[in-house]
Amino acid sequence: MTSLLLLDKPEGLTSFSAVARARRVLGIKKAGHTGTLDPMATGVLPILLGGATRFAEFLPSHDKAYVAGLRLGIVTDTLDITGTVLEERQVNVTRSEIEAALGQFRGKILQVPPMYSAKSQGGERLYALARRGIEVEREARAVEIYRLELVDDENIYVECSAGTYIRSLIDDLGRALGCGACMSSLRRVKANGYGIERCVTLEQLEQGDTSGFVPIDEALAAYPAVEVTPAQTVRFRNGGALDLARLQIKIPTEGALHRVYGNNVFLGLGRIQSEELAVARLLIP
């Protein structure tokens, strides 16, 4: 099986465990997700199956969208409601004050990864250090918040670049409001260009629901397609570059990726290099 599976991950499972369950249901050996969700989080978890795992780095969209629960007045060590409460403060902020504070987090911002995260530092996961009571300096990194809105008094909607920590965003918002805040829930509603409406649950998958499967070439549809001859198909599958002069590519841009098809069958991705279309990644079912 070679495709992208759009899974609605349930609460209480790690992303690794969710992938393992999907793998067992489908009876396949090779699978991997495209972006970790914490156990408390639910929602879109794209899983690459079989030969599709070879194309993870080429998925064109890595932006995400979330609906996150906002608990004002509580600060925890994990920055979410599952952690140990460090402070409880009185909340005297209005909806308009919250909406005004959100403005400073839209656009490009610097964000410090939380200690309770899967990011590695010095060869060890930050959460492993945090569990031993060790806190280390973390370098702030740039992320981008494309859209940030207050859904209601207890939830925010966020569209952001990959690598954005929603719990850190909420913690920073609590600091800006002066009352502290932590994340009370998290649901990813979009990832890799696909929304929650395209996803299936593990229960649906177990019942044979196939609506969550996406052909890997569809997931790569942002790249233009090029059809090649039978002889070119053999050459490409053997790792050989193809002469651009013999291909129907309107605007050959150096470095551009193309989906390559032979007899309408997806062969893999090619990259324009000099006067050739070189193999970037072959599909190996």
Catalytic residues: 38
Tally of CA atoms within 13 A in the half-sphere of 267 that contains its CB: 25
Contact 159, 65 (CB under 8 A): yes
What residues are paired with 268 via a beta bridge?
260, 282
Q: How far apart are CA 258 and CA 250, in angstroms?
A: 12
Q: Which of 204, 111, 120, 126 is nearest to 165 (CA)?
A: 111
Where does residue 57 rank: exposed (0-12), middle (13-18), buried (19+ CB within 10 A)?
exposed
- The DSSP letter of residue 10 is P
Paired tokens of 205: 């998958």
Q: Quick one: tokens of 86?
A: 């460090």
